[in-house]
Amino acid sequence: MRKFFSLTVATAAALAAAWGSSAGQNATAQDPKQQDAKPAAVKKGLGATPASSFRLPEGFQAELVYEVPSKEQGSWVAMCVDLKGRLIVSDQYGKLYRVTPSTTGTPADTKVDPINVNLGMAQGLLHTKDGLYVDVNGEGILDKDQKDAPRGPGLYRLQDLDGDEQFEKIERIIPLTGGGEHGPHAIIPGPDGRLYLCAGNQTDLPEKIDRSRVPRHWNEDHLLGRMPDARGFMANRLAPGGFILSFNADGSDVELVSTGFRNEYDIAFNPLGDLFTYDADMEWDIGTPWYRPTRVNHVISGAEFGWRNGTGKWPEYFADSFGAVANIGYGSPTGIAFGTGAKFPAKFQNALYVSDWSYGVVYAVHLEPEGASYKSTFEPFVSAAPMPVTDLLIHPEQGCMYMTIGGRKTQSALYRIAYNGSESTQPAVFPDNDSAKAARAARRELEAMHVPGAKLDISAAMRNIGSPDRALRTAARLALEHFDSKQWRDPIQQSLRPQSAITMAVALARKGTPADQVDVNNSLLRIEWSKLDSTQRLELLRAYQLSFLRLGPADPATREKIIAQLDGHFPTADGDSLVDRELARVLIHLEAPKIVDRCVAQMNGSNSAEQQIHYAFCLREAQKGWTPETRKAYFQWFYDIGTARGGASFGGFLENIRKVAIGNLEDEDKAASVDELAEKFAAKKGGFNYERGKQMFAVAQCYKCHRFSSQGGIQGPDLTASSQRFSTKDMLTAIIEPNKEISDQYEATVFQTEEETVIGRVANLNGDNLMVATNMLDPGNFTNLKRSDIIDMKPSKASMMPSGLLDTLTEEEIFDLLVYLQSGGNPKSDRYALNTPKR
């Protein structure tokens, strides 16, 4: 019996319970369709969570500073400290406020004053001597009748020109396009005197970028293609995804620092001058091989972090990406901050605090320099149920932590966390070591080549291109990619050490021309597989992928050499699942002998649902090498995995993979036409098998939608008496060509919103909410739409009945299914006694 190990809603609920969260499902705060993600107690209008219910390390104490009156002051999502030590906060959908926190321990003594400007809706705030910076999500203006007010998403600078603590001048210094909860986010000062801003993947790069540390030749780079999100969310958003900018105080000299994030809400520098962020997962992907958990990233210069839509998210081991310092798990990243300046014990002064909105946890991430990057451990610092934390900061004068909860119009509040224990709170030194200092200096030497006007130091680049330190070899590769490949390509023709050859091949594949392909492939062919560790094998396979993608397909002779180099190692002798995944990807592309047979065997032999899905995905486009046995085993797998569960898009992804696979069947593998089948069926003289017909009714997944003999679903018409209404040809037509004629009773609707297109049938109504069934094979999985968000709706020309249901059945199996339908499910029916089938 095949076992499936997938991450389920129940698992997520168990994890939530472990942290004391009342959130029963994983729901990322940045996904607007997850409107049911509000923590339960907040939904019930029970007011702000008492500070006494917070779980904190020994010696720490939390106090409620202010409970935000929702109707008057909204729900706070961003804050900063002004030049006088007060807080400035923003309502997610409304005004800015100046907050003077109570020092008496009585929330009523906290003073909150609205800031008198026609601007708000900020998800990032910063106050410096140069003004108040407001990173606006949405239109920004509060008084829409003020026609001359600057408006639209982007970074604004507000300035007090006469010292009266009012802001007379408002400038939109960096216009941005795209907003919402994947829009512009935090704004922070950098140790270099510049400002830094981050934005999610629904934000376009600004029109004017003066320079880019990221080599501007990014692409999707999927060897076997990708499929968009199964529910259509952001299906048209392509690379580079979320990004980080730096610039001068007046918004000039805009520099692109890094790309490839999903929805990083906040950024922070550590005392050593390195930048970090906490990036969001796509919780709808849970259970799939392309799911990536929420994760802390060390943002090195020019790095790409691999967000792509749908199935396309790069695994963190891709050589042209950069991985995570810490993989946290399910969650909804919001505010982050280092504990620098806090009057906390040393361990907590040096921690990076990262906030999870959905599960109500702030984690303390303990970073230790390792080579040119960091290693980490993490632990919960503060948690409660509910505690939808939106932002946090360390007050530079008071040495305490301020934390806001709220978001999405939930009950908001401001808290203060201080340490009252016995440990020393004297300023701590951030941990470091001599080898890390040297590696960090080498990385920064390489990063200095990532800007216009720099000179290529080829010796420094080549010295580090083969480094076992990923940060160093990434910085070296990016340095090369900033220069014309003619200046540095020659060493690839030599016998380099394996890691150097691999990283050079990645750089030249990305930066070079098709004329470089021979040298790239020959360099990789000189490498001995047996001498590589797992990381090097993964990077070798990615280098081949980039060669095929960027420089063109290998010629037949080279193709045979690459197959000879790789084919004998799949599957790996030590069961390295990640290497097996990438070997399968490359060998399927190369059409290696018997690769389909081996991948189907791996798919059906694995205990991991994620591993199985990877093989199914890779095989969907394979058109050569199939046998009737492997074809049937492949499509049978889709039926077998029907019990596995994952995120909201899980079932849709499986169905979409299956549809693509069916669409790529060779003509001789497809079911015969309706007329041919009807004629052959009419000519058959008895011998029908009741049990096999019943089995085929299940294999074709008919029970999921149709009721038959008092069993099955109700999404489609009852088929028990179908033989009394339809001829054999009518039944075959309805199954094989479901779009030919669609009954009004079962017609789907195309719903269009500004963000997505949803095709399905309304299964339930609740006020403004429509619950739409989009996949008849997963009828309990709904897409929620608000009527007010729908801008157009029209009948669908496509049937809700899946196509290709019979494409994997033999003629005999199809005939047994037809007779089973005609019998009404009765094994004693005369259909099994007659010699001539019914026309």
Q: Model confidence over 521-542: pLDDT tens digits?
A: 999 999 999 999 999 999 999 9
Q: Where are the alpha helices (DSSP H) in 687-754?
A: 690-699, 722-725, 728-736
For the segment 274-301, the average pLDDT, to the nearest whole number, is 97
| Strand stretches in 309-359, DSSP E | 326-329, 333-338, 352-356
| 642 confidence band (pLDDT: 50, 70, 90) | confident
For the segment 98-120, the average pLDDT, to the nearest whole number, is 94
CA–CA separation, 62 and 492 (whole Å): 59
Name the token pair of 651: 């079932």
Cβ neighbours of residue 200 closer than 8 Å, sequence gap 6 or more: 30, 181, 182, 183, 184, 185, 242, 261, 262, 263, 264, 265, 280
CA–CA separation, 129 and 768 (whole Å): 46
DSSP type of residue 397: T
Least confident of 35-49, 286-300, 572-586: 35-49
Query: What Rg, from alpha-carbon coordinates, does the chain have?
Result: 30
Highest average pLDDT, of 476-480, 717-721, 777-781, comes from 476-480
Q: Model confidence over 629-639: pLDDT tens digits?
A: 999 899 999 98
pLDDT at residue 612 in the model: 97
- Residue, of 793 and 746, whose pLDDT is higher: 793
615-620-625 Cα angle (round to 5): 85
pLDDT at residue 780 in the model: 66
Name the token pair of 636: 């049978």
How buried is 217 (Cβ within 10 angstroms: 0-12 exposed, 13-18 middle, 19+ buried)? exposed
Residue 353 has pLDDT above 80, yes or no: yes
Percent of the chain with pLDDT over 70: 87
For the chain, give percent helix, strand, coil, nearest 5: 30, 20, 45
User: How far apart, in Å, are the Cα atoms of 367 and each of 276, 327, 331, 551, 614?
Assistant: 11, 13, 20, 39, 33
Closest by Cα among 652, 640, 639 to 773: 652
Strand-pairing partners, residue 135, are 124, 155
Residue 136 has pLDDT above 60, yes or no: yes
Q: Count how many residues are written for the chain.
A: 839
Name the token pair of 497: 């050490």
pLDDT at residue 20 in the model: 33
User: Is the preceding peptide bond at 386 cis, omega within 30 degrees of 0?
Assistant: yes
Q: Model confidence over 666-685: pLDDT tens digits?
A: 554 554 467 777 888 888 87
Q: Which amino acid is at 555?
A: D
For the segment 346-365, the average pLDDT, to the nearest whole number, is 97
Least confident of 328-342, 506-520, 628-642, 751-765: 751-765
Cβ neighbours of residue 359 closer than 8 Å, sequence gap 6 or more: 15, 16, 19, 21, 23, 330, 331, 332, 383
Q: Look up the pTM and report it.
A: 0.82
Run of H or E residues at 95: none
Q: Average pLDDT over the chain, rounded to whole?
A: 88
For the segment 78-106, the average pLDDT, to the nearest whole number, is 95
Name the token pair of 369: 């320099």
pLDDT at residue 800 in the model: 66
User: Is the preceding peptide bond at 240 cis, omega within 30 degrees of 0?
Assistant: yes
- Residue, of 690 and 435, whose pLDDT is higher: 435
For helices 517-525 and 556-566, the axis angle rounded to 10 degrees is: 30
Helix (H, G, I), strand (E, B) or coil at 678: helix
| 37 confidence band (pLDDT: 50, 70, 90) | very low
- Residue, of 637 and 773, whose pLDDT is higher: 637
Q: Model confidence over 714-740: pLDDT tens digits?
A: 666 777 777 667 787 777 777 766 666
For the segment 40-61, the average pLDDT, to the nearest whole number, is 79
Residue 601 has pLDDT above 90, yes or no: yes
Percent of the chain with pLDDT over 90: 66
Q: Residue 733: what are its φ and ψ, rounded to 5°?
A: -60, -45
Note whether 578 and 184 are within 8 A (CB): no
| Strand stretches in 540-596, DSSP E | none
